[in-house]
């Protein structure tokens, strides 16, 4: 056991030793292989290094050869470029010395017809000037090109003036009328374009203006522009006036094609109503104050106008005037034309000024536009304002002569000015304050003179003297009444204007109340004042009549005429704004005068009463005294009836309805009293000649009364 145990480890050690030796041998072989490979690698490395060193040497040789060549080539190219640039600069500089010669012909011939070519020449000259100023300011060539540049600029300015002068024409009147006309039947209005210059000419003018501003350093052309265009604007408006005069002279009526009218004075942009009706009213007012239709003094001419037919009266009056003037346009027609023309010229100015401003925006530099426009419109605006001032002065002189109808010429103009004021202000926006204030100043003057005329008219109605020769012999409507009513009726077309006139004279403390309703109340108060003054004056005038009955007929006719006139027109609506009971008050006045008139028959019917009538029994013989009483009653009735019928037959009650009512009423009263009297005297023998006293049958009496107030009977 012991020997065996010692033998086992020895065998393991031998095996282990052999294994180690084998591994050692393998490692030695590997080491030898590596050494061999390292030697080969070293040899290869040495070969590569040798190759690279050789290549580097060759590259250095190549670089040393190429770089000098490259630098020489680069220098040659730079030299070539410098030569080219020098030659080009020389050519460019030399060209400046030839500019004056090259552009001489074109500059001398001017820009007409070849503006682009001309401006190109000017540009060349301008560059030459800049060159010599920068590089050779003492050279004679600088003076030459400077002179050529100034000459070119001069010719451009002349071309600007020539183009404007040649192609700026007044706008034809018909085109202006079309531009300011309003057709109420068209929902969408077709705007009329006012073309002041042909498009090609306009573009040339714009081009020249732009050059003069940018390069010419010249603003004189703007003065040239506003002077030429201002003249054309003024000529356009004067041409419109002349158009009115010529067409009115040939046709007898003002010519205003395509212009629509509108009756009411309401805020609107429509072209206003022509003042022809106003002028006719003035004619009538004057005619009333001078003669009746029959050419006689007094107011009996109103008798045939049954029912106070105002339209018929106007027609008859107008026909009388037309016949008087032989159908031609008289002095008043000329004034009518002038007013109509002025109204249209105001609208034309606004439209033309707007058109001029649109044109100016394309031509004049922005910061000069407002000033140039202000200068451009001055002449035309001043002429319009002067004409307006002349109208105010004429109205003032007429008022001093107590011709208050002259104020009627102010109304259509003032209304039109106020209707167009906002557009006027918008058009003049940006102009000087003195320019913008011209229209408001004219409006204020017209409102002041208008208000003065209205107030003085009211006073004249109150203070009209009681002239006996001027009183209508037949008790019909007095000329003062017809004048006053006709005057007031004309205010209906200008309610807002007249109300504003009166409001303009109110104290500043109530200025905040200047509304349409406030103005309407003022106008209503004014109309009531005129009517009140008229009533007081009529009462005073009626005292001229010695006959109380004729006095009553006179007042009745006038009150009835006033009431009917108020009811037929819209005056009654205006009156009732401040006087609710106006109608009933006038009816009461009329009724009072009817009662007063009827009292004139008391001296006739009192003879038919039972007063002093003898008491007797049938068949009893009357005493002489009693018979005489009955005779006196018959005689008193007969004489009174005859006298009244003879007198009152020459009186007038133009209103058929009132005339028939008074006749019928009086006929009933007298006829019934007379029949009763005859019945009482039927069986009384008071005379041997009864036909001497019983002259009239009741039917005959009724026929006599039926002929009252009838001059033809």
**CA dihedral sign of residues 461, 463, 467, 473:** positive
Q: How many CB atoms lie within 10 A of CB 592?
A: 14
pLDDT, residue 618, reads 58
Q: Mean pLDDT across the stretch 113-127?
A: 82
Summarised one tens digit per residue, pLDDT across range 544-587 is 999 999 999 999 999 999 999 999 988 999 999 999 999 999 99
Name, in order, each residue with C-beta under 8 angstroms of 219's C-beta and a sequence gap of 6 or more: 213, 368
Q: Is it the case that residue 494 has pLDDT exceeding 50?
A: yes
pLDDT band at 382 (very low <50, low <70, confident <90, very high): very high
pLDDT band at 381 (very low <50, low <70, confident <90, very high): very high
The DSSP-derived string for 28-77 is HHHHHHHHHHHHHHHHHHHHHHHHHHHHHHHHHHHHHHHHHHHHHHHHHH
pLDDT, residue 578, reads 92
Q: Mean pLDDT across the stretch 39-63?
A: 86
Summarised one tens digit per residue, pLDDT across range 404-418 is 887 888 899 999 999
Q: Of 535-544, 627-636, 668-677, which gets the smallest average pLDDT?
A: 627-636
pLDDT band at 445 (very low <50, low <70, confident <90, very high): very high
Name, in order, each residue with C-beta under 8 angstroms of 623's C-beta and a sequence gap of 6 or more: 614
Q: Which two tokens stand for residue 513?
A: 């109340």
Q: Of 64-68, 259-263, 351-355, which gets the smallest average pLDDT?
A: 259-263
pLDDT band at 46 (very low <50, low <70, confident <90, very high): confident
Q: How many CB atoms lie within 10 A of CB 150?
A: 13
What is the C-alpha separation between 370 and 361, in angstroms, rounded? 9
Summarised one tens digit per residue, pLDDT across range 586-625 is 999 999 999 999 999 998 888 887 776 766 665 567 777 7
Q: Is it the case that residue 259 has pLDDT exceeding 60?
A: no
pLDDT band at 195 (very low <50, low <70, confident <90, very high): confident
Helix axes 624-648, 656-680, angle to 10 degrees: 170
Q: Which two tokens stand for residue 355?
A: 């058109």
pLDDT, residue 312, reads 34
Q: Which residue has the higher pLDDT, 549 or 215?
A: 549
Cα angle 176, 180, 185; round to 5: 130
Q: Is it the case that residue 36 has pLDDT exceeding 90?
A: no
Q: Evaluate whether 356 touches 405 at the Cβ level (below 8 Å).
A: no
Q: Which residue has the higher pLDDT, 72 or 435?
A: 435
Summarised one tens digit per residue, pLDDT across range 202-213 is 999 999 998 888
Q: How far is CA 349 from CA 243, 381, 420, in A?
A: 15, 8, 11
Q: Mean pLDDT across the stretch 29-47?
A: 89
pLDDT, residue 614, reads 64
Q: Name which of 574, 420, 418, 401 is nearest 490 in CA terms.
A: 574
pLDDT band at 196 (very low <50, low <70, confident <90, very high): confident
Q: Name which of 311, 565, 290, 307 is nearest 405 in CA terms.
A: 290
pLDDT, residue 514, reads 60
Q: Name which of 151, 131, 150 is nearest 141 in CA terms.
A: 131
What is the C-alpha separation between 527 and 485, in angstroms, rounded? 10
Q: Of 110-114, 366-370, 505-509, which gets the smallest average pLDDT?
A: 505-509
pLDDT, residue 261, reads 37
Q: Is it the case that residue 146 has pLDDT exceeding 70?
A: yes
Q: Which residue has the higher pLDDT, 325 or 6?
A: 6
What is the C-alpha separation between 133 and 154, in angstroms, rounded? 21
Q: Name which of 668, 666, 551, 661 is nearest 601 in CA terms.
A: 666
Could you tell me what percent of the chain has a pLDDT over 90? 37
pLDDT, residue 320, reads 35
Q: Is it the case that residue 538 has pLDDT exceeding 90?
A: yes
Q: Which residue has the higher pLDDT, 310 or 249?
A: 249
What is the C-alpha separation between 456 and 478, in angstroms, rounded? 20
Q: Which two tokens stand for residue 692?
A: 């001497």
Summarised one tens digit per residue, pLDDT across range 451-481 is 999 999 999 999 888 777 788 999 999 999 9
pLDDT, residue 328, reads 35
pLDDT, residue 301, reads 36
Does this model's pTM top 0.75?
Answer: no
The DSSP-derived string for 331-371 is HHHHHHHHHHHHHHHHHHHHHHHHHHHHHHHHHS-GGGHHH
pLDDT band at 696 (very low <50, low <70, confident <90, very high): confident
Determine whether 338 is exposed, middle or buried from the number of CB atoms within 10 Å of its CB (0-12, 13-18, 19+): buried
pLDDT band at 145 (very low <50, low <70, confident <90, very high): confident
Summarised one tens digit per residue, pLDDT across range 308-346 is 443 333 333 333 333 333 333 345 566 677 888 899 999
pLDDT, residue 95, reads 59
pLDDT band at 432 (very low <50, low <70, confident <90, very high): very high
Please measure the distance between the N-terminal and C-terminal CA atoms of the chain and give it in whole angstroms: 200
Q: Evaluate whether 388 touches 342 at the Cβ level (below 8 Å).
A: yes
Q: Which residue has the higher pLDDT, 277 or 128?
A: 128
């Amino acid at each position: 056991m012991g020997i065996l145990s010692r033998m086992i480890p020895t065998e393991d050690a031998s095996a282990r030793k052999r294994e180690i030796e084998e591994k050692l041998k393998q490692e030695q072989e590997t080491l030898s292989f590596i050494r061999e490979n390292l030697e080969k690698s070293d040899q290869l490395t040495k070969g590569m290094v040798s190759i690279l060193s050789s290549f580097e040497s060759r590259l250095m040789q190549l670089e040393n050869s190429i770089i000098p060549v490259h630098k020489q080539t680069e220098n040659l190219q730079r030299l070539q470029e410098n030569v080219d640039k020098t030659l080009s600069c020389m050519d460019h500089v030399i060209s400046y010395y030839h500019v004056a010669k090259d552009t001489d012909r074109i500059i001398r011939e001017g820009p007409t017809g070849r503006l682009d070519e001309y401006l190109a020449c000017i540009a060349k000259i301008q560059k030459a000037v800049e060159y010599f100023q920068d590089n050779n300011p003492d050279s004679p060539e600088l003076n030459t090109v400077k002179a050529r540049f100034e000459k070119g600029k001069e010719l451009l300015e002349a071309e600007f003036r020539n183009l404007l002068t040649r192609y700026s024409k007044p706008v034809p009147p018909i085109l202006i009328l079309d531009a300011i006309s309003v057709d109420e039947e068209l929902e969408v209005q077709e705007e009329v374009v006012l073309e002041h210059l042909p498009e090609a000419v306009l573009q040339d003018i714009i081009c020249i203006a732009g050059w003069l501003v940018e390069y010419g350093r010249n603003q004189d052309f703007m003065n040239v522009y506003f002077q030429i265009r201002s003249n054309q604007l003024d000529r356009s408006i004067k041409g419109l006036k002349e158009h009115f005069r010529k067409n009115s002279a040939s046709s007898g009526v003002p010519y205003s094609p395509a212009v629509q009218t509108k009756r009411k004075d309401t805020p609107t942009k429509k072209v206003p109503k022509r003042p022809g009706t106003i002028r006719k009213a003035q004619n009538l007012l004057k005619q009333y104050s001078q003669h009746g239709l029959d050419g006689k003094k007094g107011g009996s001419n109103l008798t045939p106008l049954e029912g106070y037919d105002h339209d018929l009266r106007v027609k008859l009056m107008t026909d009388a005037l037309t016949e008087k003037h032989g159908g031609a346009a008289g002095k008043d027609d000329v004034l009518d034309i002038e007013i109509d023309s002025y109204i249209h010229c105001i609208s034309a100015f606004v439209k033309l000024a707007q058109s001029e401003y649109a044109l100016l925006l394309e031509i004049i530099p922005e910061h000069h536009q407002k000033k140039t426009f202000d200068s451009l419109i001055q002449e035309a605006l001043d002429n319009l304002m002067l004409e307006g001032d002349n109208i105010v002065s004429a109205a003032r002189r007429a008022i001093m002569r107590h011709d208050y109808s002259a104020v009627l010429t102010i109304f259509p103009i003032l209304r039109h000015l106020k209707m167009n004021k906002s557009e006027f202000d918008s058009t003049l926006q940006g102009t000087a304050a003195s320019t913008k204030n011209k229209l408001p100043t004219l409006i204020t003057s017209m409102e002041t003179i208008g208000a003065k005329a209205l107030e003085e008219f009211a006073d004249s109605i109150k203070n009209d003297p009681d002239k006996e020769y001027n009183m209508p012999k037949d008790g019909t409507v007095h000329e003062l009444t017809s004048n006053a009513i006709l005057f007031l009726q004309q205010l209906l077309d200008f309610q807002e204007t007249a109300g504003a006139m009166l409001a303009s004279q109110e104290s500043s403390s109530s200025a905040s109340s200047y509304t349409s309703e406030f103005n309407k109340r003022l106008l209503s108060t004014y109309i009531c004042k005129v009517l009140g003054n008229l009533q007081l004056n009529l009462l005073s005038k009626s005292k001229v009549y010695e006959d109380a009955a004729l006095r009553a007929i006179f007042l009745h006719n006038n009150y009835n005429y006033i009431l009917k006139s108020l009811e037929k027109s819209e005056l009654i609506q205006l009156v009732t704004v401040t006087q609710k009971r106006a109608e009933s008050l006038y009816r009461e006045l009329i009724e009072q005068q009817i009662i007063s008139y009827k009292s004139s028959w008391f001296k006739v019917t009192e003879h038919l009463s039972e007063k002093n009538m003898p008491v007797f029994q049938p068949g009893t013989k009357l005493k002489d005294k009693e018979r005489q009483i009955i005779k006196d009653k018959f005689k008193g009735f007969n004489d009174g009836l005859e006298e009244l019928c003879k007198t009152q037959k020459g009186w007038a009650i133009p209103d058929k309805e009132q005339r028939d009512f008074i006749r019928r009423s009086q006929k009933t009263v007298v006829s019934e009293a007379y029949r009763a009297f005859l019945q009482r005297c039927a069986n009384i023998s008071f005379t041997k000649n009864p036909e001497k006293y019983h002259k009239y049958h009741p039917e005959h009496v009724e026929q006599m009364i039926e002929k009252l107030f009838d001059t033809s009977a």
